[in-house]
């Protein structure tokens, strides 16, 4: 799959996209989203995990070689 991504500020309700030659005579899928819609779907800062009581042995994670 080849992906072409463009970020365009719209002045009106018409969108023009110049595609590479490899797209000629091919069926393409076009998805149009605004930045605000994307930010809402990311759910940034909606899940918080308290890791203050997590315990681990550093040797098990990094191996014996760091002694």
- Whether 51 shows a pLDDT value over 70: the answer reads yes
pLDDT digits (tens, 9 = 90+) for 24-45: 899 988 888 777 766 666 666 6
Rounded CA-CA distance 66/28 in Å is 52
pLDDT of residue 25: 92
Percent of the chain at pLDDT > 70 equals: 79
pLDDT of residue 57: 81
Helix (H, G, I), strand (E, B) or coil at 23: helix
Give the mean pLDDT of 8-36. Answer: 84
Give me the chain's average pLDDT, please: 78
């Amino acid at each position: 799959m080849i992906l072409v991504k463009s970020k365009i500020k719209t002045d009106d309700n018409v969108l023009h996209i110049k595609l590479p030659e490899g797209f000629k005579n091919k069926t393409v899928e076009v998805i149009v989203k605004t930045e605000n819609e994307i930010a809402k779907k990311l759910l940034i800062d909606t899940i918080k995990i308290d890791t203050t009581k997590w315990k681990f042995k550093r040797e098990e994670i990094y191996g014996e070689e760091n002694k």
